[in-house]
Every structure is written in C-alpha cells, then in structure tokens.
Chains A and B, each alone.
Chain A
Amino acid sequence: MSKPLPAIVRTHFTALRVLLVLTVILGVAYPLLVTGISQVAFSDKANGSIVKSDGKEVGSSLLGQNYNLPKKNPDDKEEVALPDPKWFQPRPAANGYAGDNSGASNLGPNSEDLRKNVDDRRKAVAAFDGVDPASVPADALTASGSGLDPHISVAYAKEQVKRVAETRKLSQDTVAKLVEKYTEGRSLGFLGQEGVNVVLLNKALDAPK
C-alpha cells in the first residue's frame, strides 16, 4: 500500500477540483445561460444597439463617432482631421473614438497640457460655431471618460444648430426640432444627466426627406 499524500498536497488537489467545478458552473454555464436569454429577449441591445442607415450598419447608438472631413492625405498620421460643419460634433475624445481603444486623457486638474487643450478647444469651437468663446459649454471642452461618449449637453447641441442648418440649407427650426427629438432625459426622470444623442441625431439629419 502506498503512503497517503501529505495533507498540504491533498488540500491543493481539493482546491484544484473545486476550481474546475466552479469554472464550469460560473465561467461557462452561467455566461452561456445569460447570453441565451439575452439573445432571445433583447437581442438588439445584447448585440450592441446597432444603428442602420439604408440597410447598412453605420455604428452603435451607444458609441460616439467622429464627424470629420476626409483628410487631404489619408496616410498622413500627422495631419489633424478637421470637423465637418454639416454634422453635429461630439465631445473631445482621448483616443479619437476608436472602438477598440476606449479610455480617458487622465490629465490632472492642474495639468498645463489640459489647460492648453481646454483653451485651444474653446477658441476653435467658438470660431467653428460662430459664437462667443465664453458661452461654449464645458462638455465641448473636456474629453469624456470612455472616449466613446455618444452624448453632448443640450447647450452644446443648441450652439451647433445654426451652423448645421446653414451648411445643409435647412431651416434652423427643423434642425432645432430634431435636437429636441434626440434629447434623452434622465432615466426615470432623475437618474444621471440629460444629453443629446449625437449618433442618432446625425443619422436623422442624413435621412432622406
């Protein structure tokens, strides 16, 4: 008869067996169950709230996007893409709205770099929208946490109405009504903060009349 293994070794084998059993239950069965139910009950949301235009997938209503003019030289990494005046512009993003690279700037409250970014953005946005620099709201000057924020403040959306309407040769009233339509209030009236969904608003602007 072979000698029984020492207790310390037996404990590790027990630990390994527990871990494997729990991995099957919690790491495989559980996510599969939740996926199965979600795909049946709310497949739209479970698959990323995809937005379509003319039958083609153009993004997700939850993920913000860039709305820039094409670069003069698309291969030039140094060239800064300019915002396209015919679209509502989103908030600044640390990683240029890359869907595979979310994140924030992490610049501190007294950072010289952040200070400069804010001042530069204030000037650029005010000139672009033709408004007084002092009136540009904070969300237009600061990068979001996710780098994929799909919302802007109502104030920032209103500021852009005139420019978008003029570029698209629409009445300001028509555009302002669309802004109102895509303003999402607080959940249940009091949770979070209201904002205008830029992805849905721009898609609506582009829809054939």
Chain B
Amino acid sequence: MGSTLAGWMQALALVGALALCYRPLGDYIAKLLTTSKHLRVERGIYKVIGVDGDADQRWSVYLRSVLAFSAVSVLFLYGLIRLQGYLLLNLGVPQMEGHQAWNTAISFVANTNWQSYAGESAMGHLAQMAGLAVQNFVSAAVGIAVVAALIRGFTRNRTDRVGNFWVDLVRINIRLLLPLSIVFALVLAASGVIQNFHGFTEVTTLSGEVQKIPGGPVASQEVIKLLGTNGGGFFNANSAHPFENPTGFSNLVEIFLILVIPFALPRAFGRMVGDNRQGYAILAVMGLFWVASTALLTWAEASHQGSALQAAGAAMEGKEQRFGIAASTLFASSTTLTSTGAVNSFHDSYTPFGGGLTVFNMMLGEIAPGGVGSGLYGMLVLAIVAVFVAGLMVGRTPEYLGKKLGGREMKFASLYILTTPTLVLVGTGVAMALPGERAGMLNSGAHGFSEVLYAFTSAANNNGSAFGGITVNTDWYDTALGLAMIFGRLLPIVFVLALAGSLAQQQPVPATPGTLPTHKPLFVGLLSGVILIVVGLTYFPALALGPLAEGLS
C-alpha cells in the first residue's frame, strides 16, 4: 500500500472511531452531569469530604470552589515535587529548584503540562503517579465541570444556582475518566507501553556499550495525559518515546484519546439544552477547522520546505521512522487544536509553514475541538460573539438558546477573548526586549522569534507543547510562563462562570421569526468567519514576524 493511501485510511479510521463515539459518549456525559442519583462510592466520598451532594451552588461559590481546589493543588504538587527526595520511589533524582517546581506545579494544575524539566532525570515514580498524573485527571475534570456550569446557565431559568463543583468533579473522575483510563491503559500496555516500578536497568549492548533502560508506571499515566488533553510526557521525548508510543497502532489510539471527549462534548451540550442540532452545529465548526488544519499541515510536511530539510530529502528531522509524515502530522494538529501539547514528533524541526500552523492552531484558542471542557466553553463564548455580531447587522438584541445577550454577557465574553492574546503578545514582547531572554533561543532569526512566540502561545492557551530548542529552565522563563499559564487558565474560568451565573438568572425569551437560528449552515459559516477574523486580526503581526517571514524568505 502506498503511503498516501495509508495516510488517508488512517485519518478515515480515526474519524470513523470518533463518529461512533459521538452519540453514546456525549449522551453518557450529559446524563452524568444532569442526573440527581449518586453512586454508592460517590456517597462515600461526599461523606469523607463533608459535602452535601444534593446542594447546588451559586456561580460565585462554584468559582470559589474551583479557585480553592486549584490553589490547594498547586501547593500540594509543589510540596510533593520539592520533597520527593524524602519519599518512596524517588529514583535518586536531584532536588528540583524552587522556580522550576513552581512552574511545574502550576503547569499541571492549569491543564497545560508545559515541562521545563526532562521527565526521566527530574521526576521519581511517586511524584509522577501521585502528583502529576492526579492533576492530569482532576484538571481535566475541572474543565468539564466549568463547561457544565455554563451549559446549565443556558438551561436553567430565574435561578442563581449553576451546580455543585465537588459533585461534578467527583462524578467526572469516577464515572468518566477513570473507567476509560483503565481500559485504554491496558490497551496501550498490550501494545508495548511499559507499566512497572523499576528504576533504570543497565544492560551491556551487543556492541559492548552500556545502555540504561528506563522503567515506570507509564501506560497508566500516558492514557490520562491524552484523554484529559494534558500532554505532560513521562519521558522528555513525550509520545515520540518508544516506551510511551511504540507502534502505529498505539499512535492512533493516542490520537483518538486526545480527541474523543472534546468531540463528544457538543453532543452532551445539545442533549442538555434539549436540541441535538445545536450540538451538531458546534461539532461542524470544530470538525471544519480540524480537517482543514490537518490537511494543510500534512501537505506542508510532505513538501519539506526549508533549506536543511530540502538537503535531507524529507521532513524527517524530529520524526520517528515508525510514524512517518502522515501519522506525525495527524498527531501534531490534534495536539495543538486541543490543549494537549503531547508530541510524537518535534515541532521545532517542522517546515516553516507546518510549524507556523501548529502555533496558529493554538492561537485559535484551542476550540477545534479544544481541551476537555475548555474547548467547548471557548467555542460557546465565540458563538455568543457570533450571535452578537449578527444582532448588530440586523439591529436586534442578540439571543442564543433563548437567553438575551445584553451588556453584562458581552462584557464577560469580550474579557474572555482578550485574556489570552494579552498574555501571549505582552509576554513575547517583553521576552524579546530582554537580551538575556532572547539568548534562550536555539535557532536564530525569524525561527528563533517563533520559539519565543510558541512558548507564550502554548503557555497562555494551556497547551504545553514547545518549539523545544528554546532554553526555558531559567528564573525568568519559569516565572513568566508560570504566570501566563495560571492567568490563561483561571481568568477565562472566572469570566465563563460569571457568564453562567448571569445567564441562569434570566427569564427565557421565546424564539420569534426574527431569531437567528443557531443550528443551520448559515450559523456554522458565521461562527467560522468570526473565529478567523478575531484570531487573524489579533495575531497576524506576530505570525508575520515569525513563521511567515521564515517561510517566505
């Protein structure tokens, strides 16, 4: 079979598998977010933590719970990393510096998984599984909980209650993430991903050298790293490492895991608002961007532009033989269009346009389909903006799903949209103005600028992948990127929950012939256009200085 045909079949198999999961998984998520029944194990947990599982919270209490949980998580993880030398299974790794531990703690709590450390030399097994992997679960659950609160804002009327954060958090972990993780961890282990508690095993190779073979509970962490759109690799090489991703089959399973929940959430949304067509419209926009971006990225890599890649004859620098181009680009577009940031090939060595596209994917705000929960709430905020734009055109008060979008709602939506670009552009600008930080670039010229732009885009959008050449384990980068990650995560959540509270209080307005239907192709086109214009106007100058300058020179 030729590689082009195989590449197409691979993409089709992925789309087919996701399509099969859309309805059952989406319905299942909608049910677990709306049912009033508790499982016995959940009742036990509520008892231990002292929470009334039937009491709903106001949006401000819901937000306070999210923030408190994040704060406690950062402190706990920071402590665990700093103290791992005194705990079990530490493999004798050296003490991590304060600024790096702070950066890492924030990174995993913020669902970013930006890593300024190398997994195999900086983390023991206990810190990985009881620290980092736990945040991989719970930060994903926080994202889904927040979008659940937003959807309840649409479905509930004249109330100040948007759900109970603790109940959402526990249910999403126990009913959704944990069962899927157990099943797929075993699938990955069966295909060669390691799962043990060994340290390094030294072997003498056939040519007489010594090689250290790493160990660790990798399969259990690999699954939730992808399923929760986290992305933090057990090893430095992330999903390019053969112990994390050994075959073409494990590779497709991993891409599937990245996309399956984000693509099923529009169904849960449609279900919860009582109109599945609303879910299909959102899905269509997500799918459109995903397909276009994947196709363009594959084309860019296959054309191997760039003087060094031309000399080599193919864009195989930073890519694995067992994946080749198509399986690498499928992973790369999926990881940057969600908030995952895991990589099976290294984006810094991608072609100028291919690498630029991975940055652009993140700049879209990671909404196609986006991180678990965060992708959908990002898309719904943009849908609100699209409805508002349409309302301006015809001079009507805009409404979405029966709720009026007044000044208060639009303020929260606008603040949401302004947050990440501000962090990205200010952060990049300051780094470029400081000679010491500019020196962190590995490559020179426009590509070096792209490394810095990529770093702040990745941090503020909670992606976590990198143009890895840049040296970021410095006081300044650890601090600056840590701030970008935590503000890039929590400020949007503040605005989304405020929006949810404001929507839930409203009395619904009946649809009239003048209401813009938000389930038709017209709306899909309108929303796509709004996304492109908002992102294009915001980031074009930065992209022109980096990837576009390099690609056109």
Residue A73, interface by CB 8 Å: no
B133 and A27 within 8 A (CB)? yes
Residues of B within 8 Å of A87, CB to CB, are 206-207
Given contacts A30-B181, A114-B308, A143-B317, contact A38 B72 (CB under 8 A): no
A59 and B203 within 8 A (CB)? yes
Given contacts A109-B305, A190-B9, A193-B3, contact A67 B207 (CB under 8 A): yes
Given contacts A35-B217, A186-B1, contact A193 B321 (CB under 8 A): yes
Point out residues on B near A: beta carbons under 8 Å. Answer: 1, 3, 5-6, 9-10, 13, 45, 48-51, 61, 64-65, 68-69, 71-73, 76, 118, 120-121, 129-131, 133-134, 137-138, 166, 169-170, 173-174, 178, 181-182, 185-186, 189-198, 200-201, 203-209, 211-215, 217, 219-221, 235-237, 240-243, 246-249, 251-252, 304-309, 311-324, 326-327, 343-346, 348-352, 355, 442-443, 445, 447, 467-469, 550
Given contacts A42-B189, A99-B200, contact A192 B324 (CB under 8 A): yes
Residues of A within 8 Å of B121, CB to CB, are 100-101
Q: Which of A17, A21, A42, A103 has the most CB of B within 10 A?
A: A103
Bound-state Cα–Cα, A23 to B79, Å: 14
A108 and B469 within 8 A (CB)? yes
A143 and B318 within 8 A (CB)? yes
Residues of B within 8 Å of A30, CB to CB, are 178, 181-182, 220
Specify which of B137, B304, B442 is in contact with A26 (CB 8 Å cutoff).
Answer: B137
Point out residues on A near B: beta carbons under 8 Å. Answer: 7-8, 11-12, 14-19, 21-23, 25-28, 30-31, 33-35, 37-39, 41-42, 45-50, 53, 56-60, 62-63, 65-68, 70, 84, 87, 91, 97-111, 114-115, 117-119, 122, 137-139, 141-153, 184, 186-193, 195, 202-203, 206
B313 and A19 within 8 A (CB)? no
Bound-state Cα–Cα, A34 to B13, Å: 27
A109 and B349 within 8 A (CB)? yes
Given contacts A26-B134, A31-B129, A151-B322, contact A189 B468 (CB under 8 A): no
The smallest beta-carbon distance between A33 and chain B, in angstroms, is 7
B205 and A58 within 8 A (CB)? yes
Residue of B nearest to A60 (CB): B213
The smallest beta-carbon distance between A131 and chain B, in angstroms, is 14
A34 and B313 within 8 A (CB)? no
Specify which of A33, A56, A150, A187 is in contact with B204 (CB 8 Å cutoff).
Answer: A56
The smallest beta-carbon distance between A107 and chain B, in angstroms, is 6
Residues of B within 8 Å of A108, CB to CB, are 306, 308, 348-349, 355, 443, 447, 469, 550
The smallest beta-carbon distance between B52 and chain A, in angstroms, is 11
A190 and B13 within 8 A (CB)? yes
Residues of A within 8 Å of B204, CB to CB, are 56, 58
Residues of B within 8 Å of A58, CB to CB, are 203-206
Specify which of A34, A67, A119, A122 is in contact with B189 (CB 8 Å cutoff).
Answer: A34
B190 and A39 within 8 A (CB)? no
